[in-house]
Amino acid sequence: MWRISVMLLLPLLFKDSFQDSDYGYNDTTNLTVRTYSGRMVLVDYNCFLNESFDQPVLNVSDEVFHQTAGFLSTRIIPSCYVLAILIGIPSNIFVLACLSGKSKLSGGVLHISLAGSDLLLLVSLTLRVHYHFNNSSWVFGELACKIVTACFYGNIYCSIHAHMCISLTRYLAVVHPFVYRGLSIRKCSIWASLTVWAVFAIAMTPEFLVQQTYHISGQNIITCHDVQTYDEESYPFLIPYRLSLICLGFILPSLVIIFVYGSILFHLNRSSCDWNHYIKASTLVFGIFLLCFTPSSIIHFLHYVRLYTQYQDDLYQYFRVAVCLCSLHSCLDPFLSYVLTKTLTAPPKFRSLSCGPKSSASSNVQGLVEFK
């Protein structure tokens, strides 16, 4: 995974070879949200007899244009998406097919929710792949762009919260096994999944209220979400809304997951069973989760802060690369879940009783086995 990360970040070190560094642009009178800067222009439509403009026209700098339609955007990013799609869609469909008849298992509902959100995320990437390979020109219309944008970001946050719910269930099974066995975990899992989906379906509503597609002045391309203008009078809620979305969608669940995995590893180390395989597998899953979601979320947050305080949008190019890791995590989820499941198929070996009470170890074993 670290090799994939290096490959994704390597083009940023040589970005000057992909764009003309002599151009610059800084317009402090226009803010953008999660995107590059653009200025609305008035167009004399009589000068464009062979073109029709269904989208508003924006004027952008040459630097922004080269970053939007350059080699990084039109080759490297869509190639990563294609890799995630080819691996992730079949594997997540296989998981859904396997779990559809086992939804009565306590952890089955949450894994179905995770596979469903990952699958929708990867499906939304298919149109984004066409967009990037087509010189970053969107041909599917404004509504399709809004749907793809809302589906893409909404399902990223749904996947993160599904991981949080799964980790909380494992936490109860290991740390509080008697409480776990006294709860109706299946009903709790159903309600948790429905709540997550409902919350982020509502949270994505503002994406449908703003213009997402723009025709770039002087260029025969129509961008989807990558270039936007920000009108403080029309959209004063956008920056606070998206900052709140990052806190709700990533920061809060990540803090919960860090605490939960730390508690699980601490209690398993104290038990009288040899949980080394499960500890290593959990550490791997937790590490890959942080590696895939943390860079894009941190850059995303810093992008908004710089945008709001300094009117700078230069971090957006790094965010576009880092978000590729989120798509790669969607194709890794089925395999990571399989790794954790395999660690529970064989009963753990007991250490000496001085390592921890045997009754506690037995409860840990029973709780984890029931969670499967």
**Tell me: the pLDDT tens digits for 311-333?**
666 777 788 888 888 888 888 88
More confident residue, 37 or 286: 286
Rounded Cα gap, residues 304 and 301, in angstroms? 5
Flag whether pLDDT at 31 surpasses 90. no
* CB 114, CB 289: distance < 8 Å: no
- Which backbone phi and psi does 171 adopt, to 5 degrees? -60, -45
CA distance 80 to 4: 9
Domain 2-371: assigned CATH number: 1.20.1070.10
Tell me the DSSP string of 297-359.
Answer: HHHHHHHHHHHHHH---TTHHHHHHHHHHHHHHHHHHHHHHHHHHHTTTSPPEE--GGGS-HH
The pLDDT assigned to 120 comes to 92
So where are the chain's domains? Answer: 2-371
CA distance from start to end of the chain: 26
Distance of alpha carbon 60 from alpha carbon 38, whole angstroms: 5
Q: What is the DSSP letter of 171?
A: H
State the average pLDDT over residues 261-285.
Answer: 80
Residue 103's pLDDT is: 55
Q: What is the 3-state secondary structure (H, E, C) of 61-119?
A: CHHHHHHHHCHHHHHHHHHHHHHHHHHHHHHHHHHHHHHCCCCCCCCHHHHHHHHHHHH
Q: Return the amino acid letter for 148.
A: V
Q: Please give the pLDDT value at position 160.
A: 93
State how far the Cα of 242 lies from the Cα of 246, in Å rounded to an integer. 6
Instruction: Give the whole-angstrom CA distance, residue 45 versus residue 59.
Output: 15
Q: Of 371, 370, 369, nearest to 345 (Cα)?
A: 369
**pLDDT at residue 265 greater than cutoff 60:** yes
- Quickly state the pLDDT bin for 20 (edges 50, 70, 90): very low
In the sheet that holds 213-216, the strands lie side by side as: 39-40, 57-59, 213-216, 222-224
40-90 pLDDT, tens digit per residue, is 443 433 333 334 456 677 776 667 777 777 788 888 899 999 999 999 999
The answer to whether 268 and 351 are in contact (CB under 8 A) is no
Name the amino acid, one letter, at 18. Answer: F
- pTM recorded for the entire structure: 0.77
Q: What is the percent of the chain where pLDDT is above 70?
A: 69
**Residue 304 structure tokens:** 């908004």
- pLDDT tier at 198, thresholds 50, 70, 90: very high
Q: For Cα atoms 192, 198, 203, give the angle at the middle one, nearest 5 degrees.
A: 125
Rounded-to-integer distance, Cα 224 and Cα 212, Å: 6
pLDDT at 342: 67
Q: Find the helix or strand (DSSP H, E) in which 188 lies.
A: helix 185-203
Tokens of 99: 């779990």
By the 8 A CB rule, do 234 and 40 touch?
no
Block residue for tokens 């499941």: 341
Type of residue at 185: I
